[in-house]
């Protein structure tokens, strides 16, 4: 979908001088807001911004002052994975 907005030329030129591409800046702002409210996953952020890895997404979000969603379920999954790797001898302390 393409969305068009009308911005006075003088405002657009001023913002472009500060931000660069307005199209990219607006896309980033939309993606950040949607991620923060839980409407977009990190994978969708990666896809929408054309990034190749999750690390790029993490760095982008951190640069913008947005931190990854990490809840109790994520923590439990990490603990479970760590225990399994320890049992398999793939993780050493």
Distances (CA, A) of 79 to 1, 17, 46, 87: 40, 47, 26, 12
pLDDT above 90 (res 74): no
Q: Give the confidence band of 81 by pLDDT, cuts at 50, 70, 90.
A: confident
Does 87 score more than 80 pLDDT? yes
Considering the entire predicted model, what is its pTM? 0.71
Confidence of residue 4 (pLDDT cuts 50, 70, 90): very high
- Identify the pLDDT of residue 92: 67
């Amino acid at each position: 979908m393409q969305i068009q907005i009308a911005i006075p030329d003088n405002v657009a030129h001023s913002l472009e001088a500060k931000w660069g591409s307005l199209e990219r800046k607006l896309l980033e702002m939309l993606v950040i807001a949607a991620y923060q409210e839980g409407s977009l996953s990190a994978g969708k952020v990666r896809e929408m911004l054309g990034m190749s890895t999750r690390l790029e997404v993490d760095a982008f979000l951190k640069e913008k002052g947005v931190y990854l969603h990490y809840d109790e379920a994520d923590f439990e999954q990490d603990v479970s994975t760590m225990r399994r790797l320890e049992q398999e001898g793939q993780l050493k302390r």
